[in-house]
Structure 1
Amino acid sequence: MHGAEQRHPNIVVIMSDDQGPWALGCAGNTEIQTPHLDALAAEGTRLSRFFCASPVCSPARASLLTGQIPSRHGVHDYLDGAHVGPESVDYLAGQPTFTAALADAGYRLGLSGKWHLGASDVPRDGFVHWFALEGGGSPYGHARMHRDGIPEDIEGYLTDVFADDAIDFVDAEARRTEPFFLALNFTAPHKPFAGQHPREYTDLYRDCAFDSCPQGDPHPWQPTVDGVPIGGEADAREALIGYFAAVTAMDAAIGRVLKRLDDLGIGDDTLVVFASDNGFNCGHHGIWGKGNGTFPQNMYDESVMVPFIARQRGQITEGAVVDDLLSGYDCAATILELAGIDPAPFEAGPGASFAPALCGEKLLERPVVVHDEYGPVRMIRTRTRKYVHRYPFGPHEFYDLEADPGETTNRVDQPEHASEIHELRRQMHAWFSEHADEAIDGAELPVAGAGQVTAVYPDPLGAFTPLNWDGTGAAARQETAE
């Protein structure tokens, strides 16, 4: 819809996979080429301190949809096991999502790309178009997709396949009177990196110095097998070329989608949001990966901070940068408010709409603090301090972000910081006590970044079935009655 007839804006939410805000030109990286995302930021508002709820894919995505933290929605790690078929499960079954709220308000929903929240072959309620990747990752040259429940093996560059499908959905919906919502979920720039991307993009970086990705000494918490580090890259330079090329190729695909909105005459009536599920370290701190690039899992800003750009012409402030500390659990309420739908049901937990900040207003009476979790690892971060707590015994971390913005020196044992560490720890415990569900609280689970294969369902009385774990860090399969 467009013009005076439109009651709600169309919505396009574009999600990248494993991208920190450092990998954006508009965020200050002079080496990476992201002209279309830079232009989107110039037309809209960019958040410079937006955080995922957990530094790994599936829980972060679940938090974006539900407005809840992993210790309430029950997804604590990336999802492993069956992704389709009778053994696969919907990990968010019975839980409210902002997409369901959009459908209830009359939106027609479409998905093009990654899902990775279980049962990828089953279109969720309200989705009239469902083109979902079977699992959590894939080579870029071919993939198994599920189109409206039917498996489909596709060939071609995956980033362009997703964008083409998204454009087809937009073309069809532009002819209808109802507003539409599109989730365009890329796998870029997720690994594999080297040898995956068109030469027109890899050639851009053959002579790049990659000063934006300093290759530190291997992190002491890097996992090893028989003494050999895992999770790193055998050829860091080729991996960097692939990572940067993946971002630039995705940027070009996004540019095609945005152009189609304008060509159809609906660009001005469409809210466009770009974000990533979690951050990523390309050698920063001696890590290739995100939270589970180390064990214990890390909470460095490169892992937990993600890009966020929003544009709606005439509504969202043009060319603004907002530095409030905001999180993925705030996203559901924000999108609903921008859509003209009551956000209150998604503000009963930790989330709160930051739509006013996107429209030029100050966020009032809001603590400048954000929380993250990854199983038994929890973080509280203010503008100038970060405290990381690991249940049950540590190691804990404390960073003075004024003196040490690169998080190079852990000051947790320095006596002069004892009182403020105590206060941050108290605030963190109180916050998670308020917002976690005791039955599935991640602090009690030995999550090791090795994947989760157990679903958590609400039972008929509204309680949650607790997770079972096999003691190795991967969840043990549990039969649960619906």
Structure 2
Amino acid sequence: MVRLASFLLFTFLITTSLSAEERKPNVIFILADDQGSVDAGCYGSDDLHTPHMDSLAVNGVRFTQFYSAAPVCSPSRAGALTGRWPVRAGVPSNCSSAKGGSGALPSSEITMAEMFKAAGYTTAHIGKWHIGYTEETMPLAQGFDYSVGHMGGCIDNYSHFFYWNGPNRHDLWRNGKEVHEDGRYFPQLMADEACAFIEKNQDKPFFIYYAMNTPHYPYQGEAKWLDHFKHVKYPRNLYAAFIASQDDRIGQLLAKLDKLDLRNDTIIVYQSDNGYSTEVRAHNGGGNSGPYRGAKFSMFEGGIRLPGIISWPGHLPEGEVRGQIAHACDWLPTLAELTGVELPQTHLDGRSQVDVIQDAEAKSPHADHPLHWQVGNGKNAAWAVRDGNWKLVANTRDTEESGNNAQVKLFLANIAEDPGETTNLVDQHPKIVARLTKLHRQEFGD
């Protein structure tokens, strides 16, 4: 009997060990909303409180040339979730914030959630959606097993009403059904939901798309942080308080992983969807693009060059920085390679960054694969191409707080020499302009 008991115990330990080795890592994709290019301590801001965001860089790899898929919400999200240029994914501009409204990520597109679900993951959308407001295009129809959040572009964080235009309308949904959580602070609701999902699914691989609505307007930082930043100049004080409130919730998420001993079993990706907002609803600013020109809505660097971090302690380098070019569309193939799941059977514009993440000297996958952006359709669409150090933008605006809001028809810069895009080299390099314009037309047509 003793020998039998020992044999059974040995078999159990071996089986447990193998299952632990075979289990795929969890994935949490954190997407900030309208966070400026340098608006975290690890990106150089010394007037913000971001210890938990910074801890992801301490325990991971931080990109200094990371680009979102678009300078505005919906296309940026569509690109990140599909690994395809937003125009190719069917989302050239912002989707409606009204139930049943126009514009959506087509159901034929394969999302990151669908990719992970096919590999046996349990999937959750928590937070903002803004890429479809019909039953066929909301999260449960796009690969998510669980969903809670708002379907439109923004909400008041306490009443959960959309106030941008009338009539005012409530926008909070759980698994496709409208729910009311009167007075519950939305960033805390998100953190509570995510922690509960992790607790419930801790014994199997999970994927969480944690799409924050912060620091998107309305700026509604907590009272303690508003008091903490009361001596900071307006509107930076309001923005800083909201960022700190956001960071607290990221800390809660990380604490839950640590408590359940899941931190080393979980890949965390962090990025912003576009640059900070200078809209009147955002008090005309508050964020910071640092040395870069432009902000939200702009094809200049400040609209699309943003925080981008990946962390997986014990498996990926920690506390390291990468200067190679990276793009939001790269996350899908990168995560597929890291987790060992199959890629969608479709054309992908993103390229795996695994080699770069593992080796600071690795060649960028975009060395031979130019980056493209476009918002809108037709000849007046704003677009940009980056090939090597050269970047050409067309039909864009400098949307910075103190910038000139006049439209720029065509602007060429060498980003390595002029990251602030201060000097237009269109007239000096007509052949480069012609070559980059041709690349754009080959990708999207006229």
Report the TM-score when normalising by structure 2: 0.80
The correspondence for 1:181, drawn from 193, 196, 207, is 207
Shift of residue 114, structure 1, vs aligned partner: 0.6
- Counterpart residue identity of residue 27, structure 2: I
In the alignment, what sits opposite 1:67?
83
Q: How much has 1:4 moved relative to structure 2?
A: 2.5
Q: Does 1:377 align with 2:382?
A: yes
Q: Deviations over 1:248-275 (max 9, x none)?
A: 1111100111011010111111111111
Shift of 1:78: 1.2
| Alignment partner of 2:144 out of 110, 115, 127 | 127
- For 2:229, the aligned partner's letter is Y
Residues 319-398 of structure 1 correspond to what in structure 2 (within 5 A)? 319-343=319-343, 345=345, 348-360=347-359, 362-363=362-363, 366-367=366-367, 369-375=370-376, 376-382=381-387, 384-390=389-395, 395-398=409-412
Q: Shift in Å at residue 356 of structure 1?
A: 2.1
Structure 1 residue 244, shift from structure 2 partner? 1.7
Q: Which amino acid aligns with 1:130?
A: S
Q: Distance in 2 between matches of 1:201 and 1:309?
A: 25
Cα-to-partner distance string for 1:53-104 (whole Å, 9 max, x where unaligned): 21111111011111111221111111125335xx677532111122101101
Separation (CA, whole Å) in 2 of partners of 1:364 and 1:302: 22
Q: For the residues of structure 2 that align with 1:310 and 1:52, how far apart are their CA atoms?
A: 14
Identity %: 29
The CA distance in 2 between the partners of 1:319 and 1:294, in whole Å, is: 29
Counterpart-to-counterpart distance in 2, 1:72 and 1:60:
12
Q: What residue number does 1:420 align with? A: 432
Measured in 2, the distance between the counterparts of 1:354 and 1:120 equals 34
> Which residue does 1:148 correspond to in 2?
175
Q: Are residue 25 (structure 1) and residue 41 (structure 2) matched? A: yes
Letter of the 1:302 counterpart:
G
Question: Helix, strand or coil: the match of 2:374?
Answer: strand
- State yes or no: 1:165 paired with 2:179: no
Cα 1:281/1:152, change in 2 over 3 Å: closer
SS of the counterpart of 2:178? strand
Structure 1 residue 281: Cα displacement: 5.1
Gaps of 5+ in 1: 210-236, 444-482
Deviation of 1:322 (Å): 1.0
Q: 1:156 to 1:363 in 2, by over 3 A?
A: same
Tell me the distance in 1 between the aligned counterparts of 2:296 and 2:190: 35
More divergent stretch after superposition (416-425 vs 306-315): 416-425
Greater mean deviation of Cα atoms: 355-364 or 242-251:
355-364
Are the counterparts in 1 of residues 97 and 133 from structure 2 also a CA contact under 8 Å?
Answer: no
Cα 1:135–1:125 shift into 2, 3 Å: closer
Q: Deviations over 1:17-65 (max 9, x none)?
A: 0113311110111111110111110110011111112111111101111
Match among 29, 32, 37 for residue 13 of structure 1: 29
CA contact (8 A) 1:354 1:363 kept: no
Q: Is the 8 A contact 2:128 2:153 kept in 1?
A: yes
Residue 242 of structure 1: aligned partner: 238
Counterpart of 1:353 in 2: which secondary structure?
Answer: coil
Between stretches 299-308 and 121-130, larger displacement belongs to 121-130
**In structure 2, what residue type is equivalent to 1:203?**
D
Query: Are the counterparts in 2 of residues 315 and 359 from structure 1 also a CA contact under 8 Å?
Result: no
Say whether residues 1:300 and 2:314 are aligned partners: no
Q: Secondary structure, in 3 states, of the residue corresponding to 2:324?
A: coil
On the 8 A contact 2:119/2:342 being kept in 1, the answer is no
Q: Please state how far the C-alpha of 1:172 moved relative to its aligned partner.
A: 0.8
Shift of residue 417, structure 1, vs aligned partner: 2.4
**Alignment-mate amino acid for residue 435 of structure 2:** E
Distance across 1 between alignment mates of 2:26 and 2:61: 18
Q: Is the 8 A contact 1:62 1:92 kept in 2?
A: no
1:34 maps onto 2:50 in alignment: yes
Distance in 2, matches of 1:405 and 1:5, equals: 44
Alignment partner of 1:276 out of 256, 272, 275: 272
Cα RMSD (Å) of the superposition? 3.1
Structure 2, unpaired ranges of 5+? 1-15, 161-170, 397-406
In 2, Cα distance between equivalents of 1:377 and 1:68: 18
Q: Which amino acid aligns with 2:227?
A: D
TM-score (norm 1): 0.74
Letter in 1 for 2:305: M
Shift in alpha-carbon separation, 1:42–1:259, aligned structure 2, 3 A = same
Displacement of 1:189 after TM fit? 0.3
Distance 2:172 2:338 in 1: 31
CA–CA separation in structure 1 for the residues paired with 2:382 and 2:103: 26
1:296 CA displacement: 13
CA contact (8 A) 1:98 1:333 kept: no
| Corresponding residue SS for 1:138 | coil
Distance in 2 (CA, whole Å) between partners of 1:279 and 1:120 is 28
> CA separation in 2, counterparts of 1:163 and 1:301?
31
> How has the CA–CA distance of structure 1 residues 295 and 167 changed in structure 2, closer, same or farther, with 3 Å as cutoff?
closer
Letter in 2 for 1:50: F
